[in-house]
Chain A
Amino acid sequence: AQSVAQPEDQVNVAEGNPLTVKCTYSVSGNPYLFWYVQYPNRGLQFLLKYITGDNLVKGSYGFEAEFNKSQTSFHLKKPSALVSDSALYFCAVINNFNKFYFGSGTKLNVKP
């Protein structure tokens, strides 16, 4: 069965510091992994995805994610956080039948 886990309900970081939002996955076969961001009262917005190739994936707004097969992880990272990055972040995996499985979400708080 496919699933993703986001072990942290909330991550707090100071503006200018690096941030990491964690995600681990469980899939049968090759994983197709995604990160989405949700700002208050908005729908989810696509940030980046890993399908194949380079393990370091770069996405929107300066975010990147590293695919680690041995640790079955796909952590979201940004070298320098902005207050405007404060939002809810979702990790997702897609199965062979094109069904998305979303994690429970991690609330990122970036403080000035």
Chain B
Amino acid sequence: DAGVIQSPRHEVTEMGQEVTLRCKPISGHDYLFWYRQTMMRGLELLIYFNNNVPIDDSGMPEDRFSAKMPNASFSTLKIQPSEPRDSAVYFCASRSDRGGKNEQFFGPGTRLTVL
């Protein structure tokens, strides 16, 4: 398996622009998580899905952030409009709950820089 795939790996954009981050989870995994990592705040859970349905979006910082999972193999995290304080590394992770409480598998991350 190729693991969790994220694209792009790096994104540089200007303030006010729309940014879309993409994630392909591991096939067969029924949970998908979006995290944000910064030096100041560490690793923050933004939102997670179970069977394509958003379960907990309490970590989404504000209305400028939205996430979708139209099918089991694809999810997007969108920021519109983007701001410099959104600069961070965004990770997607997936896991399967079959067989018990299982670990999450993380993608390589997307490093976002908003100028």
A residues at B contact (CB < 8 Å)? 32, 34, 36, 42-46, 49, 51, 90, 94, 97-100, 102, 104-105
A-B pairs with beta carbons under 8 A, tally: 47
> By DSSP majority rule, is chain B's interface helix, strand, loop, or mixed?
strand
Band of interface residues on B:
20 to 34
- Of all A-B residue pairs in the complex, the 3 with the closest CB atoms, nearest first, are A43-B106, A46-B103, A32-B101
Residues of A within 8 A of B33 (CB): 100
B residues at A contact (CB < 8 Å)? 4, 31, 33, 42-43, 45, 48, 50, 55-56, 91, 93, 95, 97, 100-101, 103-109
Residues of B within 8 A of A42 (CB): 108-109
Residues of B within 8 A of A43 (CB): 4, 91, 93, 106-109
Q: Chain B's nearest CB lies how many Å from the CB of A59?
A: 10
The answer to whether A46 and B108 touch across the interface, beta carbons within 8 angstroms, is no
> By DSSP majority rule, is chain A's interface helix, strand, loop, or mixed?
strand
The answer to whether A97 and B56 touch across the interface, beta carbons within 8 angstroms, is yes
